Amino acid sequence: MTYRAKEQSIVKKAEFMAAIDGIARRRFFWTDEISSDQRSPTRPYGRSKAGHRAFGIRPFVQGARFSSLGTALLGSLHLGIVSG
């Protein structure tokens, strides 16, 4: 990061802090998103050198994918989960 970029970040941070200074802390909330799936991290087919057989037993699952969105507000946690 260049010096100018660092300097601009400090200025923008100071502007943001000045803008939110009059807002009560209890009015803030924090949100985060996470996704998960039940799919296998392994390949469905093996690979080997030419002329050699690839063998081995690995589970392969084509599972569902889930996304969740959590929000922390006033000491409580609100969570929503969707498929897809």
- For β-strands 76-83 and 65-73, DSSP reports them as antiparallel
Record the tokens describing residue 66, joined without a space.
Answer: 């889930």
For 3-30, how does the pLDDT look when each residue is reduced to its tens digit (9 = 90+)?
666 667 788 888 888 998 988 877 888 8
Residue 56 CB neighbour total at 10 angstroms: 7
pTM for the model: 0.41
For 54-75, how does the pLDDT look when each residue is reduced to its tens digit (9 = 90+)?
877 776 677 777 888 888 877 7
Sign of torsion over alpha carbons 68, 69, 75, 76: negative
The DSSP output letter for 36 is E
What local confidence, expressed as pLDDT, does residue 63 receive? Answer: 73
Concatenate the DSSP letters of all residues of 72-84 into one string.
Answer: EETTEEEEEEEE-
Q: Is residue 2's pLDDT more than 80?
A: no
